[in-house]
Amino acid sequence: MIITTASMKGGVAKTTTAIHLAAYLQLQGTTLLIDGDPNRSATRWAERGMEQDGLPFKVVGVNQAARYSRGIEHFVIDTEASAEEEEMKEIVDGCDVLVLPTTPDSLSLDALIQTVELLKKLKADKYCVLLTRIHPPPRREGEEAREFLEQMEFPLFKGKIREAVAFQKAANQGTIVKNVKDQRAKTAWKDYCDIGKEIYGG
């Protein structure tokens, strides 16, 4: 299985999603995370964890990918925020499932609409929108965004990723959210496991 995370807008949780879906897939079979972002956020995340818990899978750059792919069952590819049609064409061709994370604010949703329009133009079919950083009730942005996206008939994961400081701690500590000392760590990890199940089963 090859999962890629992409968006036209920055900061919508592409890297956080790539890291945690790779951790989920690693439970099913050997997984490699390919860091396709020149910012190298996923690579730095992995490096920060070296002395502590660390990530349960290897993170490599695109130029190393061929060599480290031997014997690997699952791949997750993290990409940079980009609106390039040529780039999106390659991204779509290069994966089984394209995950489009979006936060529930109008700037992100506007960028998402543009992305989906481009994907429709490219006749891509295996993409799915993931709502991220959803604040708890009484705030309703998450539900409003879902209603809006359902109206647009965009493919959408049933699950969502809730806002949790534990994700920022995980990034700082170079580990996955499950290993962080935080009262919300367990539910945060479950949010990504639920998405992993929607994609892969297990």
Residue 31, beta-bridge partner list: 74
**What whole-number distance in Å separates Cα of residue 195 and Cα of residue 125?**
18
Q: Sketch the per residue contact string, 71 through 90, with ligand ATP: x for CB under 6 A, - otherwise.
A: ----------x---------
The answer to whether 52 contacts ligand ATP (rule: CB under 6 A) is no
Q: Residue 168 touches which of Mg ion, ligand ATP, none (CB < 5 to 8 A by kind)? A: ligand ATP
Q: Which of 16, 26, 108, 173 binds ligand ATP (CB under 6 A)?
A: 16
Strand order, beta sheet including 31-36: 58-61, 31-36, 74-79, 2-5, 97-102, 127-131
The owner of tokens 């990723």 is 161
Per CB under 6 A, the segment of 33-41, 108-116, 117-125, 178-186 that binds ligand ATP is: 33-41
Residue closer to ligand ATP, measured from CB, 30 or 139? 139
Taking only Cα atoms into account, the Rg of the chain, rounded to an integer number of angstroms, comes to 16
Cβ–Cβ contacts within 10 Å for residue 126, how many? 13
Q: Could you tell me the two tokens for 72?
A: 């690997």
Per CB under 5 A, the segment of 39-47, 152-160, 167-175, 189-197 that binds Mg ion is: 39-47
The answer to whether 46 contacts ligand ATP (rule: CB under 6 A) is no
Q: Which of 52, 69, 168, 187 binds ligand ATP (CB under 6 A)?
A: 168
